[in-house]
Amino acid sequence: MEAIDPELVENPLIFPTDDFLANAHVLRTLTAEEETDFSDRFQKAIGN
């Protein structure tokens, strides 16, 4: 990453700090049914 852009090495969105990760949460994967339902509702919400 440093060869591409040295500033990116300091970007916490790319390389989060230990403090940031300590507050992170892993969410479960949606089931196929939940994914379809979510997608359908989102499409309605954005007018598609």
- Digit-coded pLDDT (tens) for 23-37: 999 999 999 999 999
- 25: in domain: yes
Residue pair 37/44 in contact by the 8 Å Cβ criterion: no
- 12: in domain: yes
The sign of the torsion formed by the CA atoms of 26, 34, 48, 46 equals negative
Residue pair 48/40 in contact by the 8 Å Cβ criterion: no
Counting the structural domains of the chain, the total is 1
- 1: in domain: no
- 27: in domain: yes
Query: pLDDT value at position 1?
Result: 80
Over residues 11-33, mean pLDDT: 94
SS3 label, residue 25:
coil
Which residues form the domain of 11?
6-45
In this predicted structure, the answer to whether residue 2 has a pLDDT above a threshold of 90 is: no
